[in-house]
Chain A
Amino acid sequence: MKLDCKHVWDYISDFLDDSLPPETREMVQRHLENCEICSAILDSTRNILILTADDRVFELPTGFSDRLHARLAREIDSERERRDKPPQD
């Protein structure tokens, strides 16, 4: 069976995840070898996902970690004080 381009597009995500059944994967692979448009779509999608996952896209703001741990320490302390305080009658 021969696949047309539109069907190949449906398989791009599963192809990248390597989760296609072997015979479908092979059909897609054969199509990609002969179709520059579909192989450019596959390459660009893969490339874009790699760039998106890079730590530099969403960097931590300066001082994030310090502020986080200071707040945690504050809240944890005050919760402990509340817990340890003897009950008032």
Chain B
Amino acid sequence: MNFAGADSGVRDEAQMICAILAGDTEQYHALIRPYEHSVYRMALSFVKSESEAEDVAQEAFLKAFRDLASFRGESKFSTWLISITLNEARRRLRRQSILHMESLDEPTQDGARISPALLRDWREIPSEALERREVRALLQEAIDQLSPIYREVLVLRDIEELSIEETSAALAISISSVKVRLHRARMMLQKDLAPKLKRTTSRKRRWFQ
């Protein structure tokens, strides 16, 4: 489940929000259930530990509850929740001063090309490979190692499956910046992961047969 997928179905979120604001706060629990995994996953892609990500996720859901009256319904509830989660994660990072000058320095390098890892052939790695902790850890590390400006675009677009336009709105950056950063993020992942995944899955290829 991702942010994009959670919106489908027959839930009338606008009506739920009205009811919550009118005092039926119990409904808030139902409103946010489809987004728990997405919010946690987004938090985890910014902070380093699971417990910290859980904390960020709780704070984001609380903040969304407290600010619910200011939700105007111009965007989807999910998009609004994303901005809150992003802000909460960034606030946490700033407090730990992990961001350094990164967000100021890096966009100037947007023009530089990332060369992908060169391979002669690629044998599709099936999703069953994710049953192995080793493979999951490789993917988590690769995402971790992206700097925040690339990681946030990749997470919103490729993991939460937002459109280019929604990603641009959530991050308040231009559509062309989304595309440039997304391209670089994807190439960095390919460069880092393709050789490692190829090695680990070909060694244990029998596993899948």
Contact = CB atoms under 8 A, between A and B. Distances in A.
Contacts, number: 137
B115 A36 contact: no
Q: Is the interface of B mostly helix, strand, loop or mixed?
A: helix
B155 to A, nearest CB: 9
Given A9-B113, A36-B121, A64 B54 contact: yes
A85 interface: no
B88 to A, nearest CB: 14
B183 A12 contact: yes
B203 interface: no
Contact of B61 (A53, A55, A68): A68
Given A49-B158, A52-B159, A58 B140 contact: yes
Given A12-B116, A52-B143, A19 B190 contact: no
B62 A48 contact: no
Interface of B: 1-2, 25, 28-29, 33, 36-37, 40-41, 44-45, 50, 54, 57-58, 61-62, 65-66, 113, 115-122, 124-125, 127, 129-131, 135-136, 139-140, 142-143, 154, 158-159, 161, 164, 179, 182-183, 186-187, 189-190, 193-194, 197-198
Contacts of A44: 117, 119, 122, 190, 194, 197-198
Interface of A: 6, 9-10, 12-14, 16-17, 19, 36-37, 40-41, 43-45, 47-58, 60-61, 64-65, 67-69, 71-73, 75-76, 79-80
A64 B57 CA distance: 10
Given A40-B120, A64-B57, A71-B58, 12 more contacts: A12-B186, A14-B183, A19-B179, A40-B121, A44-B122, A51-B135, A52-B143, A54-B130, A56-B130, A57-B139, A58-B40, A68-B57
A6 B179 CA distance: 18
B55 to A, nearest CB: 10
B176 to A, nearest CB: 11
A64 B140 CA distance: 19
A85 to B, nearest CB: 16
A17 B164 CA distance: 9
A41 B7 CA distance: 33
A9 B36 contact: no
A60 B36 contact: yes
A58 B41 contact: yes
Contacts of B140: 57-58
Nearest to B45: A58
A71 B102 CA distance: 34
B27 to A, nearest CB: 11
